[in-house]
A and B are shown apart, each in its own frame.
Chain A
């Protein structure tokens, strides 16, 4: 095992620990945790046995293992972007509902000349 493999494996190990901590603290669901643990195991396998990825790559019609990893990384990134976009949309929606609730609660009555929702 070369130095890069050792360092990368340590990083993957830390990320796996962080994933388990996130589950324990309720930051992530069981399903999300299971998905991420699978990703970290696959990364560890690819680091320790690089030839293994080449075997899988050839089995699916790709010449090199590194190409297979690149394609997988692109797909995972696309899914990540989509999930982030969906989460961002939900967050914006919640923000709008909150802003609306406050606006309606603090509506300035035309008969009340002093009311200002920013200060009242």
Chain B
């Protein structure tokens, strides 16, 4: 685990953190896999928020059957927009800790504790999952190269020393979540979050997490060409801000 800023977190937190943790899952056309993912998370965490980002399949009904809070974007706005919607709803529900979790089954429920516990202990305000500190299963070489280049890009542009730039597995304290405001609706939000962490000077750590690549998650994931588009969107947004 790597502590990466010098600031100190603001308050001590209750040991009973599971009850106050809200898991935010952004989902777009994940009808085939959202149900097992939500059920698995709900075995350990009662508060699961699924944001159906304008899916044309039965993602909404599938998530609702599992007992999650389900929000629906009337039209597709992108993963960044869906995550921000989930975070704002979680804050409204009184969440003390907010975890963003992928809908495609790439993340392990067991790793949630590793992300939230340092925040609950008061060691930091934000915990970022890193697949390069942890283990990955069946990651293709091209994906590994793209992600490594994304890390170098983030380090150069955002000037934050992270080991994994586009991992959707993160945890925020309530204080941190209130200071984050994702304005880049699509995939470039991951770089925007790193910028906001730097700007707010909130203490963060990187936590090793396991990412399970499956045929399904690889099909849904970003291609190398998509990565270039993300970089262009992000740079344009920075210039025009």
Contacts and interface: CB of A to CB of B under 8 A. Distances in A.
Interface of A: 85-86, 89, 92-93, 95-96, 99-100, 102-104, 106-110, 113, 116-118
Interface in B173-230: 183, 185
B88 A118 contact: no
A104 B77 contact: no
Nearest to B93: A107
A88 B93 CA distance: 33
B240 A86 contact: yes
A15 B73 CA distance: 41
Summarize B's interface: helix, strand, loop or mixed. mixed
Contact of A100 (B64, B69, B84): B84
Q: Chain B interface residue count: which class?
A: 20 to 34
Contacts of A113: 64
Interface of B: 51, 60, 64, 67-75, 77, 81, 84-85, 88-89, 92, 183, 185, 237, 240
A116 B69 contact: no
Q: Among B64, B67, B237, B240, find the residue whose CB has the most chain A CB atoms closer than 10 A.
A: B64
Given A96-B185, A104-B89, A117 B72 contact: yes
Contacts of A102: 74
A99 B75 contact: yes
Contacts of A99: 73-75, 77, 81, 85
Contacts of A86: 240
Given A89-B240, A106-B72, A108-B70, 6 more contacts: A96-B81, A103-B51, A103-B89, A104-B71, A104-B85, A117-B72
